[in-house]
């Protein structure tokens, strides 16, 4: 068993250093379609180097808690948005890179139903971890040449717990 | 009551003239995250003129069947992808513009659970029509200057029926 980290609820403020929350909180920016539809406009900082935006579908195996995490990754060339194609909350692990280029101060968040997230370019994060079936997500990330992936295996794994 | 059109199930073949289906059918392009996740890569033809991709959230009021449709729209400057943030199928109305620039031969499709769609640039389509609560979608479309919207009010409205 590695270092324990408790899952915290996500908020705009707490998630700000790592990325954006994609949801319909607050007031809509625009009412469209004869007021039948609220538009919450341009919620994600999409940031791609030497590439372009694309939409891929990820089908991930749901995980159980406590969840053992031994690797964090980051994408130096682009942001990565995860949009759940279900109403299920999912787990997110992120870390800072204040000290050296290694991930430090890992945090675990759980989304609310109806929220996607966009992880900013070069931010350390865990792999996609749904907690419930189906683990189906639309992913908006960089399509382009090169590896765009850096992996860091943790000396001491993280054990992510609910409380 | 206008012209009746029956909803048909969506398929890659039938939807091809209008756009892309975003789902995890067929074989994954790549297994990632130690085989815990299937990646279906770059499924949408994103096509934006004088603008860039953005992610917005649409919260639409669910509609009932039969559904009366009296307007179709198109976006001359960009494609528009609709990703349901629920497992609910939703209704899509599209039309051709083979004759003049007016929408002709309207068709109605219903998605399967777990499918998003990407409507190609300048393709006539109805407004977002979920049939079930929540009508929550992530939308990947063009962010940029200008109106990027053309509306066509039908002389005879369409009545979309299940069978």
ipTM of the shown complex: 0.97
Q: Give the DSSP H or E segment for A38.
A: strand A37-40
Q: What percent of chain B has pLDDT over 70?
A: 99
Q: What is the reported pLDDT for B101? A: 83
| Per-residue pLDDT band at B2 (split at 50, 70, 90) | confident
B141 with B78: CB under 8 angstroms? yes
Q: Where are the domains of chain A?
A: 3-21+48-161
- Mean pLDDT, rounded, of chain A: 96
pLDDT band, residue B57 (cuts 50/70/90) = very high
Cβ contacts (< 8 Å) between A116 and chain B: which residues?
A: 55, 85, 138
Average pLDDT over residues B74-83: 97
Lookup: tokens for A86: 């279900």
According to DSSP, residue A133 is labeled: S
Q: How confident is the model at residue B99 (pLDDT cuts 50, 70, 90)?
A: low
Where residue B97 falls among pLDDT bands split at 50, 70, 90? Answer: confident
pLDDT of residue A55: 98
pLDDT tier, A1 (very low <50, low <70, confident <90, very high otherwise): low
Query: What element of type H or E holds A96?
Result: strand A90-96
Whether the pLDDT of residue A99 is over 70: the answer is: no
Poorest-confidence range of A18-32, B73-87, B93-107? B93-107
Of B32, B56, B128, the CB nearest to A43: B56
B23, B34, B54 member nearest A42 (Cβ): B54
Give me B121's structure tokens: 């640039």
Alpha-helical segments (H) within A33-131: none
Binary contact (A24, B87; C-beta < 8 A): no
Query: Residue A94 in contact with residue A137, Cβ under 8 Å?
Result: no
- For the residues B32-41, what does the mean pLDDT come to? 97
Separation in Å, CA A71 to CA A78, A130, A144, B135 = 19, 16, 24, 36
pLDDT for the residue numbered A2:
75
How many CB atoms are located within 10 Å of the residue B121 CB? 19
Chain B residue numbers with beta carbons less than 8 Å from the beta carbon of A19 are none
pLDDT at A100 over 90: no
Q: Which residues of chain A make contact with B118, given a CB cutoff of 8 A?
A: 55
The tokens describing B118, both together, are 């990407």
Helix, strand, coil share of chain A (percent; to 5): 0, 50, 45
Cα-atom radius of gyration of chain B, to the nearest Å?
16
Q: Collect all residues of chain A within an 8 Å Cβ-Cβ radius of residue B61.
A: 36-37
Looking at the partner chain, which of A24, A36, A61 has a beta carbon nearest the beta carbon of B36?
A61
pLDDT band at A54 (very low <50, low <70, confident <90, very high): very high
Rounded to 5 degrees, what angle do the CA atoms A135, A56, A54 make? 145
With bands split at pLDDT 50, 70 and 90, how would you rate the model's confidence at B100? confident
> Mean pLDDT, chain B, as a whole number?
96
pLDDT at residue B151 tops 80? yes
B55: closest CA among A20, A146, A130?
A: A20
Q: How far, in Å, CA of A143 to CA of A83, rounded? A: 17
Sheet of A52-60, strand order: A19-22, A116-119, A80-84, A136-143, A52-60, B37-40, B30-32
In angstroms, the first-to-last Cα distance of chain B is 16
CB contact under 8 A, B60 and A33: yes
Q: What is the average pLDDT across B79-99?
A: 94
The answer on pLDDT for A116 being more than 70 is: yes
Q: Hey, are the CB atoms on A57 and B40 less than 8 Å from each other?
A: yes
Residue A50 pLDDT > 70:
yes
**Residues of chain B with C-beta less than 8 angstroms from the C-beta of A43:** 54-57
Q: Which CATH superfamily is domain A3-21+48-161 in?
A: Ureidoglycolate hydrolase (2.60.120.480)
Q: Cβ–Cβ of A134/B118 closer than 8 Å? A: no
Residue A98 has pLDDT above 80, yes or no: no
Bridge partners, residue A98, by sequence: none
């Amino acid at each position: 068993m590695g270092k324990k980290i408790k899952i915290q609820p996500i908020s705009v403020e707490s998630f700000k250093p790592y990325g954006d929350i994609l949801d319909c909180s607050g007031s809509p920016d625009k009412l469209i379609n004869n007021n039948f539809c609220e538009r919450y406009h341009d919620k994600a900082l999409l940031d791609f180097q030497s590439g372009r935006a694309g939409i891929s579908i990820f089908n991930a195996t749901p995980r159980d808690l406590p969840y053992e995490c031994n690797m964090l990754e980051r994408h130096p060339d682009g942001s990565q948005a995860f949009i759940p194609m279900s109403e299920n909350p999912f787990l997110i692990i992120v870390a800072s890179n204040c000290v050296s280029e290694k991930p430090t101060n890992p945090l675990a968040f759980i989304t609310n139903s109806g929220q996607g997230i966009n992880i900013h370019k070069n931010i350390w994060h865990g792999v996609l971890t749904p907690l419930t079936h189906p683990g189906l997500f639309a992913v908006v990330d960089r399509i382009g040449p090169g590896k765009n992936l850096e992996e860091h295996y943790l000396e001491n794994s993280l054990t992510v717990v609910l409380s």
